[in-house]
Amino acid sequence: MDRLVKPNFFIAGAPKSGTTNISYYLSQHSNVFMPDNLEPYYFARLDVPEKYERDIISNEDEYLKLFNNQNNATMVGESSPVYLYCPNSPRLIKNFLPSAKIIISLRNPVEIAFSEYLSLKFMKFEKNLTFKQTIDFNEEQLQKNEFHIDSILESGFYYKHLSTFMNEFPADQIKIIIFEDYIKTPQKIIQSIFSFLGLKEFPNLIDPPKNSYRVPTNEGSKLLMNNSTFRKLSKRLIPTSTRQKFGDKFLVKESKRPPVPHEERNRLKKIYNDDVDSLKKLLDIKLPWNDFN
């Protein structure tokens, strides 16, 4: 019987902040293992609604089997960006492994909200809401103090979410990365993550493919990707890398991401302003987010 191995580090967010890119780099290290299913959502299981659109792993044995092939790597991890903002995730991770290392990448929350909207629009065409209508809908949920995992606004309240993690883990177990700095010198910051994980530097890292904004190639691919049964089966049966290559070749094409509409940008700045001010004080750094400087 295979020996079950616990992961000991987690890339916990934020969404659309380079977490997949970071995972690609880290996986090149000879002493790092990350499973093909990078986003199992296991520690978000208490915050996911019934009949959720995507498959998640909620059984511990099934979750631990993801790490069976770790080949004696000293650092074993996964990357589920929803952990950053799911209310129960920090506590569940702490209960699972108090010594866990947590990596969190933060990006201008205005840009995150728009990217999240475009992602939902890309995968859920039946919800034909405009960006403004989606902000209206999600802001109303926030005002009612309701948590919704697919809210485009929830993940961007970094001060609130980091405070929750910091209440569970000591500072030396949490590594904060600023996405806008990361994309300028990714390999330098990756080496600092290796150091954080207690690993030696690993030279000659291969840069991952650029993660460009993409749209369906035609109406057929649009309908296929909007089919929840197809998406669930493909995620369950086809390795992530193979699935991505197939999608890039047959289902999607590169495009230029539209800019955040001016009116909605100003509105999001107001929504996040107080939280960003608190975040600056918490981290004691100047953030490279022009919307808040």
CATH number, domain containing residue 106: 3.40.50.300
Asked if residue 261 is part of any domain, the answer here is: yes
- Total number of domains in the chain: 1
Query: pLDDT grade, residue 125 (50/70/90)?
Result: very low
Examine residue 21 and state whether it is found in any structural domain, yes or no.
yes
Q: Which residues of 230-267 are buried (b: 16+ CB within 10 A; e: fewer)?
A: ebeebeeeeeeeebeeebeeebbeeeeeeebeeebeeb
pLDDT digits (tens, 9 = 90+) for 239-280: 555 655 555 555 555 557 889 999 999 999 999 999 999 999
Contacts of 249 by beta carbon, 8 Å cutoff, 6+ apart? none
Across 163-186, average pLDDT: 97
Domain contains 51: yes
Q: Is residue 238 part of a domain?
A: no
Average pLDDT score, the chain:
88
Residue 288 predicted with pLDDT over 70 = yes
More confident: 293 or 134: 134
Examine residue 131 and state whether it is found in any structural domain, yes or no.
yes
Domain membership flag for residue 189: yes
Q: Are 253 and 214 a contacting pair, CB within 8 Å?
A: yes
Is residue 157's pLDDT more than 60?
yes
Q: Which structural domain range is residue 159 located in? A: 9-213+256-292
Judge whether 40 lies within some domain.
Answer: yes
What's the whole-number mean pLDDT along residues 193-205?
A: 95
Band (65; pLDDT cuts 50, 70, 90): very high
Q: Is residue 71 part of a domain?
A: yes
